[in-house]
Amino acid sequence: MIKLSAVYLLAGLMFAGFALFSAGDRANSKRFGNTAFWGLTALSFLAGDRLGDLGNGVLVLSLALLAGFGLLGRGQPATTTPDERMALAQRFGNRLFIPALMLPLVVALGVLVLKPIQFGGIALMDPKQATLISLAVAVIVGLVTALILLRQPPASPLQEGRRLADTIGWAVLLPQFLAALGAVFALAGVGAQIGHLVTTYLPVDTRFAAVTVYCVGMAAFTMLMGNAFAAFPVLTGGVAIPILVIHFGGNPAVIASIGMLSGFCGTLMTPLAANFNLVPPALLEIPDRYAVIKAQIPTALLMLIVNTVLMYVLAFQ
Amino acid sequence: MLILLGVAVIVAGFALRLNPLLVVVAAALTSGWFAGLSPLQVIAAFGKAFNENRYVSIAYLALPLVGVLERAGLRERAAAIIAGLKGVTAGRFLLSYMALRQVTAAVGLVAIAGQPQTVRPLIAPMAEAATEVHDGPPDLAARYAVRAMAAATDNVAVFFSEDVFIAMGSVLLMVGFLTSSAIVLDPIHISVWSIPTALAAFAIHGARLLLFDRRLARRLAPRTPGVIRP
């Protein structure tokens, strides 16, 4: 059975490759900072389960210090020039899309067809991790296709991957840092404390006020925690179930469903949801770190109003 | 109450644009300290959670493939295709992408697209090319605005459609939490009630995309000599 550990091994090897090629990149004056950063990331993926909790903690602290003290530069791997790319684009034409389409096709194939396959009672892949495993397989298939079909040099996956990873920089690991922060906040009881404040001090005596407190609360709490999944149990247990469902007799399916979607409005507006909001500006080379959040705020606020109204109208028929 | 200072550290650190990795560690230490944990305990807890959440970073496996395709001219080819279409604009193009992304996410295929694997190599350059075809060469600020809108459209489409699929993680989380609160229901009910929001998201964000086109057109309109513009 293919498990998630195989995917981690692959990711570890990829980051180790970034680290090695960074070390030889004389165009980057901070190349050893990059080597250390990607090397520690590789270590985490390859040996994280053997480092112990404190060992992992020291590793994470080192990553934060490398980033915080500006020790990461931007590598300059040899790549094609804009003019060469125009010429290549004309030469290859639509063949360029074949490896690109391998990604969605193989992921869909993996999730829909390969996931249920079993050999003698043993599943081909860990069903809980089918999406991530399929993504890893899809990348390999796409890369092999690209290298053969487009005759790219064998070192290009690691060099080009390093180019993009350096473009994103330390923000590559921010989503994982924030996920870990969520766990520490849970341990410290931050969520429970905020939930207590919301349920104690906000008005929930009319149906409309209670719906508004729950929907806006889900969005606001998600903005603070960076994740609607962290906000959902606190506010649903604190407001939605006792007041909206039990007291006012609302439909729990409508309330839970639209409550979570109100939380997603908050996800669109917070820098703490880094993989959606802060990694893309880095990836798209937009100088304003908050450009994507700013583009999302009008949609998010309008959707929050829509969700509040929908819940009020649909939950109490 | 003082454990909430960790949240204050986050808000202040992000507002001051300090390095977020350091801000996150500082926030963890602050909240942990006021919850009675020693710094070593917090660092160990943080390390443990970091290790358990490695799956969050798996999407970066797509970077080598995306990079190789860029090297071979994928972004240029994608832009050329858009340049050959009639009547295409950044907003209309992103609207079609949004429809496709919402429909596929609603049947569970969230992972077939995303910020690193589709927005960077395909969607953003295609939207930029559409602007160029329709309104002439965009200035840098307009380029950044189009890219940001491309990324935003991917997020909005996924967030408000993924719950239509009954086996989505968030749907199962809701069902699990309700079950633990003695409310037992089939996930299909959660999914069905997320459909109105999915349709509203298409209408609202879609309208914004069309307005975005008009703003781009006004901004990039050629300044004819002799015509005084406000």
**According to the model, what pLDDT value does residue A281 have?**
97
Q: Where are the beta strands (DSSP E) in chain A?
A: 118-119, 122-123
**Average of per-residue pLDDT across A113-119:** 85
Q: Of A39-43, B121-125, B184-188, which gets the smallest average pLDDT?
A: B184-188
Tokens of A218: 């889900």
Q: Which residue of B has its CA nearest to A160?
A: B67
- The per-residue pLDDT for range B72-82, each reduced to its tens digit, is 999 999 999 99
- The per-residue pLDDT for range A56-94, each reduced to its tens digit, is 999 999 999 999 999 999 998 989 999 999 999 999 999
Residue type at A181? L
Q: Domain-by-domain residue ranges, chain B?
A: 2-52, 59-220
- Say yes or no: A193 contacts chain B, CB-CB below 8 A: yes
**Average of per-residue pLDDT across A182-199:** 84
Interface of A with B in 18-37 (CB under 8 A): none
Q: Is the pLDDT of residue B191 over 60?
A: yes
Q: Of A275-279, A290-294, B217-221, which gets the smallest average pLDDT?
A: B217-221
| Cα(A82)–Cα(A94) distance, integer angstroms | 18
**According to the model, what pLDDT value does residue A90 have?**
94
Tell me if B172 sits within 8 A of B187, measured CB to CB: yes
DSSP state of A119: E
Tokens of B172: 């199962």
Tell me if A211 sits within 8 A of A314, measured CB to CB: no
At A123, is the secondary structure helix, strand, or coil? strand
**Average of per-residue pLDDT across A176-192:** 88
| Cα(A256)–Cα(A307) distance, integer angstroms | 12
| Smallest Cα distance from A231 to chain B, Å | 12
Residue A76: phi, psi to the nearest 5? Answer: -125, 65
Q: How many CB atoms lie within 10 A of CB B26?
A: 18
| Cα(B20)–Cα(A173) distance, integer angstroms | 10
- Considering only CB atoms, which chain B residues are within 8 Å of A7? 58, 61
Q: Which residue of A has its CA nearest to B143?
A: A286
- The per-residue pLDDT for range A228-261, each reduced to its tens digit, is 988 898 899 888 999 999 999 999 999 999 999 9
- Considering only CB atoms, which chain A residues are within 8 Å of B189? 253, 257
Query: Are the Cβ atoms of B155 and A283 closer than 8 angstroms?
Result: no
Q: Of A34-43, A54-63, A109-118, A249-258, which gets the smallest average pLDDT?
A: A109-118
- Considering only CB atoms, which chain B residues are within 8 Å of A258? 193-194, 197
Query: Are the Cβ atoms of B46 and A183 closer than 8 angstroms?
Result: yes
The model's confidence at residue B173, banded by pLDDT at 50, 70 and 90, is: confident
Q: Is the pLDDT of residue A269 over 80?
A: yes
Whether complex ipTM tops 0.85: yes
Q: Is the pLDDT of residue A217 over 80?
A: yes
- Say yes or no: A149 contacts chain B, CB-CB below 8 A: no
- Burial (CB < 10 A; 0-12, 13-18, 19+), residue A268, is buried
Q: Domain-by-domain residue ranges, chain A?
A: 83-151, 189-314
Cβ pairs A/B, distance under 8 A: 411
Tell me if A215 sits within 8 A of A201, measured CB to CB: no
| Cα(B142)–Cα(A204) distance, integer angstroms | 45
Strand partners, A2: A125
**According to the model, what pLDDT value does residue B76 have?**
94
